[in-house]
Structure 1
Amino acid sequence: ITEGKNFTLNFFFPFTELNKNPVEGFSAGLIDDNDLYRWEVLIIGPPDTLYEGGVFKAHLTFPKDYPLRPPKMKFITEIWHPNVDKNGDVCISILHEPGEDKYGYEKPEERWLPIHTVETIMISVISMLADPNGDSPANVDAAKEWREDRNGEFKRKVARCVRKSQETAFE
């Protein structure tokens, strides 16, 4: 096996493993069968959260040197959340480049490590939906509403996103 083919086999393994042992709360598939580096995921809004009932579509894009570097995750479905910027990019520690945080906010072990899998990423994202980190927002406006008006305007915006996600989930 050449190095390139070995990488492809190792890269493909998490996908086949994920399909054999699905994890509750999300599903994943290749966007294009010829491109192992771009995945589409559907995330079900976690029970007992404002996102419950939502079906949120996102893309995971893996770098060529995965698993040494983290994938990027972007919601395609509109979502209102402190840790998702207005363009849909997800901002959580597990998806940050490995090593020291130049701002000193995150510990190196909280950031990307090659041992992380799609499963650990998705569990972190589902956890993020259930418990936003308002101290390190990617969407400052959503974080402000979450802190100051969680049961008012924030809740209304999330409910609108959930309804819209249900309407467009399988387009």
Structure 2
Amino acid sequence: MALPKRIIKETERLLADPAPGISAIPHEDNLRYFDVIIEGPNQSPFEGGVFKLELFLPEDYPMAPPKVRFMTKIYHPNIDKLGRICLDILKDKWSPALQIRTVLLSIQALLSSPNPDDPLANDVAQHWKENENNAIQTAQEWTRKYATA
């Protein structure tokens, strides 16, 4: 089955001009499925971490958003235990004008600024609100434990 030109163009750009701290490599046997690596941003609780994600482009992409989830455990109020991500552009704020690159940059930005007011992991968000410093320490411990080689 032929891939739409748009997916081919986006994939070529991701490979030729990757965003800093992000890599997305398509599977040979399914070019809609990407192995993604996002480095924890500097000055964030996730600094020094290397996070693996999976990204899948559904049949109706770009009319529907890509499906993305963290494979690496992470302590973050907007990412649940299953790795699902609470991010508006992956849901109701999706637009066909957005691209894989935009999505990955937005996820990277989410690592820099967790939002406990729009949580997916309620327990983590509660911890973040009640004792932010302690929650950040936990996030740093998890990053060392699960996201460093």
TM-score with structure 2 setting the length: 0.93
Instruction: After TM superposition, list the pairs within 5 Å mapping 1:147-162 onto structure 2.
Output: 147-152=129-134, 154-162=135-143
Provide the rounded CA distance (Å) in 1 between the counterparts of 2:48 and 2:108: 13
Deviations, residues 119-149 of structure 1 (Å, cap 9, x unaligned):
1101111111111122210000111111111
TM-score with structure 1 setting the length: 0.82
Provide the rounded CA distance (Å) in 2 between the counterparts of 1:74 and 1:137: 15
Secondary structure, aligned partner of 2:32: strand
Q: Number of residues paired by the alignment?
A: 148
Provide the rounded CA distance (Å) in 2 between the counterparts of 1:68 and 1:126: 23
Tell me, which stretches of 5 or more residues in structure 1 are unaligned?
98-110
Provide the rounded CA distance (Å) in 1 between the counterparts of 2:114 and 2:141: 18
Whose Rg is larger? 1
Provide the rounded CA distance (Å) in 2 between the counterparts of 1:155 and 1:46: 14
Deviations, residues 82-139 of structure 1 (Å, cap 9, x unaligned):
1101111111001004xxxxxxxxxxxxx00001111110111111111112221000
Indicate yes or no: 2:123 matched with 1:141: yes
Shift in Å at residue 9 of structure 1?
2.9
Secondary structure, aligned partner of 1:77: coil
Provide the rounded CA distance (Å) in 2 between the counterparts of 1:150 and 1:162: 16
Indicate yes or no: 2:38 matched with 1:43: yes
- Matching residue of 1:100: none
Alignment counterpart, residue 22 of structure 1, candidates 15, 18, 21: 18
Secondary structure, aligned partner of 2:139: helix
Provide the rounded CA distance (Å) in 2 between the counterparts of 1:118 and 1:11: 9
Provide the rounded CA distance (Å) in 2 between the counterparts of 1:130 and 1:10: 29
Instruction: After TM superposition, list the pairs within 5 Å mapping 1:44-59 onto structure 2.
Output: 44-59=39-54
Amino acid of the residue matched to residue 158 of structure 1?
A: A
Amino acid of the residue matched to residue 18 of structure 1?
A: L
Provide the rounded CA distance (Å) in 2 between the counterparts of 1:37 and 1:18: 13
Over the aligned positions, Cα root-mean-square deviation in angstroms equals 1.3
Deviations, residues 33-85 of structure 1 (Å, cap 9, x unaligned):
02012111100000011111110000011111100000111100000111101
Q: Which runs of 4+ in 1 moved over 4 A?
A: none
Contact 2:69 2:85 in 1 (8 A): yes
Contact 2:71 2:83 in 1 (8 A): yes
Among all aligned residue pairs of Structure 1 and Structure 2, give the percentage whose two residues are the same amino acid.
34
